[in-house]
Amino acid sequence: MSIGHTLLGLLESGPRHGYDLKRAFDEHFGQDRPLHYGQVYSTMSRLLKNGLVEVDGVEAGAGPERKRYAITDAGVTDVAQWLSRPEKPEPYLQSTLYTKVVLALMTERNAAELLDTQRAEHLRLMRGLTERKRKGDLADQLICDHALFHLEADLRWLELTAARLDRLAETVRG
Amino acid sequence: MTPEGSLLAADGLHKAYGATPALDGADFSVHPGEVVAVLGPSGSGKSTLLHVLAGIVRPDSGTVRYGDRELTGMNDTERSALRRTDFGFVFQFGQLVPELTCVENVALPLRLNGVRRKEAERQARDWLERLEVEDIRGQRPGEVSGGQGQRVAVARALATRPRVLFADEPTGALDSLNGERVMTLLTDAARDTSAAVVLVTHEARVAAYSDREIVVRDGKVKDMLAGLQ
């Protein structure tokens, strides 16, 4: 995820302090991985340097100064461009699981067992996500669904591979 | 998982259709309130296992124990009575009676068990409400959507408060959203009533609603929980 673009997007609705930005980010996007303050401030200095944000005001307090950031016109354009640009789909061609299956077959180990163990591990994770979905709000449900569909795709590949193990064994053992 | 404390347990099941073995020494157990997913490729013996466990198909050898009774030793009438009182069934297509309204469909198994019409329909309405389809109670199956029909089928299966619910691809004909809602409602209701659920599915996202999974391959059962211990 592009943290810079996400923080810029959050600034579009109005100026915010670094702390507010972190809180808004964590609330909407940081369920599993909340931002560190350090990441917020280093990202904001970069955006400031590139003219995408500006300092809208500074509050002096007992601690360090609190800067309030506002998005610039260049920042708004940058967010718009980022949103309209399609993400490159990840083809996952370098699959560790595929490598393991091939190596298991080459070394005459039990590849079906390996796939069974992997299925159990995937399902364990999917159960956790399904439970979180049951208890969560709509945002939780959408985040979990995204992960669940990817895990499901892995499992479909796994079932297909399990059904083709004999043929794959002939190929890799030459 | 050991069959100790299990509600339904099978040991060494064999079943062949002609020369083709469908079950080849399959073991199985499920506890009250537990949801077990039965996974495996097409033709692996999943549905045969479900039919043998439910007493619909008699195995060539092996035993099925339900509580302290042996299903495999019962005659057809006894097994049929047990299926009506203690077991519930949900299939891929609802198999509702087209001439009856939704509420009458849900009330039907209660009526067959001797519950009076008014009381049966009151309970049926409660189940329809729980499955979020109370508003279609007066409609016939041909007049409702696939998702609604399947919820009615789940309500019907649960209406007799079965101790074991057998579900064979219960969301197979539904879109993702409807399928997930049906699974949530089905597993919630089953857990609330401590019913054991035997869930045959080829969909991982459906299996994720279970407590554990078994894999059927070439007529044999692999219990992944035991396999990982």
pLDDT at A107: 84
In a mutational test of the B interface, the residue from A110, A152, A154, A160 whose CB has the highest number of chain B CBs within 10 Å is: A152
pLDDT at B41: 85
Q: Which residue in A has a C-alpha nearest to residue B214's C-alpha? A: A120
Q: Is B206 exposed, middle or buried (0-12, 13-18, 19+ CB in 10 A)?
A: buried
Q: Are B83 and B53 in contact (CB under 8 A)?
A: no
Task: Say yes or no: B142 contacts chain A, CB-CB below 8 A.
Answer: no
Residue A119 to residue B210, Cβ atoms within 8 A: no
One of 3.40.190.10, 3.40.50.300, 3.40.50.2300, 3.30.200.20 is the CATH number of B8-228, namely 3.40.50.300
Q: Are A70 and A54 in contact (CB under 8 A)?
A: yes
pLDDT at B228: 39
Residues A68, A19: Cα–Cα separation, whole Å: 9
Tokens representing A168? 């794959």
Residue A22 has pLDDT above 80, yes or no: yes
Cβ–Cβ pairs < 8 A, chains A and B? 44
Model pTM score:
0.82
How would residue A12 be classed by pLDDT, with cut points 50, 70 and 90? very high
- DSSP letter for B67, please: T
Q: Are B152 and B96 in contact (CB under 8 A)?
A: yes
Radius of gyration (C-alpha) of chain A in whole angstroms = 23
What is the SS3 assignment for B200?
strand
* Angstroms from B184 CA to nearest CA on chain A: 8
Nearest CB neighbour to A130, from listed B41, B208, B228: B208
Put simply, the chain B residues between 17 and 56 with a CB less than 8 A from any chain A CB are: 39, 41
Residues B174, B190: Cα–Cα separation, whole Å: 20
Q: What is the pLDDT of residues A108-162, one digit of tens each?
A: 888 988 999 999 999 999 999 999 999 999 988 999 999 999 999 999 999 899 8
pLDDT at B229: 33
Q: What is the pLDDT of residues A98-107, one digit of tens each?
A: 889 998 998 8
Q: What is the pLDDT of residues B43-73, one digit of tens each?
A: 888 999 999 999 999 999 999 999 999 998 8
- Among positive and negative, which fits the CA dihedral B75, B76, B81, B87? positive
Tokens representing B50? 């479900």
Domain boundaries, chain B: 8-228
Arithmetic mean of pLDDT, A25-44: 88
What is the SS3 assignment for A8?
helix
Under CATH, what is the fold of the domain A3-84? Arc Repressor Mutant, subunit A (1.10.10)
Residue B213 to residue A120, Cβ atoms within 8 A: yes
Phi, psi of A31 (to 5 degrees): -50, -50
Please compute, for residue A54, the number of CA atoms within 13 A of its CA located in the half-sphere on the CB side. Answer: 6
- DSSP letter for B219, please: T
CA A66, A67, A69: angle at the middle one, nearest 5? 145
How many Cβ atoms are within 10 Å of A66's Cβ, its own excluded? 14
Mean pLDDT by 10 residues, chain B (229 residues): 80 93 94 94 89 94 94 92 92 87 96 94 95 94 92 94 94 85 90 94 93 91 63
How would residue A64 be classed by pLDDT, with cut points 50, 70 and 90? low
pLDDT at B49: 95
